Amino acid sequence: MKTETVQANQTGCELILALDMEEKAEALALLDKIDNGLTWVKVGLQMFVRWGPAFLKQIASRDYRIFLDLKLHDIPNTVASAVRSLAHCPVEMLTLHASGGPEMLEAARKERDKLSSKPKIIAVTVLTSINEAILGKIGLQGPIEKRVHAMGEMAVNAGVEGLVCSPLELSILRENLGKEPLLITPGIRPSGSEIGDQKRVMTPSDAAQSGSSFIVVGRPILNAVDPYAAATQIRDELAKAHSLT
């Protein structure tokens, strides 16, 4: 049984599989094949919009823990209502955009606190697909590290339990925010993997040693000839990195 509690980076960095696939049957078959190769699954906007809450229950019935990555971003009342609407779903972590501001984040947290199920509220800082050139095109000036730090500090002060950031910002966030916040890092690529549309990337071992609580990996596992072996190799790398810290 996968019954560990969600904690900050105290027992080492954990792997989350980004289940970014088209077909529900294919995704569930993959999870059955991986089985105890991992504990956590990230369900993003693509699959949640298509398959809905019932899909989350099918994942949970296989004893996986769910990180629901919807990146909610709207007026405070609307986001709070969305959090309330997810109360019946087996979700342990839920993402909102930090750029929605402290009032939105606080509204989400307060609504979550009323629920019997209490998913961790995780604020997304700057997407790992964005670099400073793209940041400038949307009217925001870099450097990215300062923007991530400012957004992360604001979100933690608003009461969120964790942040999504690129692995390149882990050190500055740990230095300034301490050990408590969960730091979840996409943009992880094992050595030799294609980086795809990610701009700010790091290996699993380096991310773990830099202070990541969870790494999110998708294509290097989903596209592997043996997904179980790929997931196990990454988890072994994380365990080795933890033993060195």
Active site residues: 71
- In terms of Cβ atoms closer than 10 Å to its own Cβ (0-12, 13-18, 19+), residue 24 is middle
Q: How far apart are CA 232 and CA 221, in angstroms?
A: 10
CB 207 within 8 A of CB 12: no
Task: Name which of 32, 14, 19, 15 is nearest 219 in CA terms.
Answer: 19
Bridge partners, residue 235, by sequence: none
- Identify residue 229 by its one-letter amino acid code: A
Q: What is the rounded CA–CA span in Å between residue 45 and residue 43?
A: 7
Sign of CA dihedral 191, 170, 128, 83: positive
From CA 107, how far away is CA 115, in angstroms rounded? 13
Q: Which of 129, 167, 172 is nearest to 147 (CA)?
A: 172
Token reading at 124: 């997304």
Give Dmax over CA atoms of the chain in angstroms.
Answer: 47
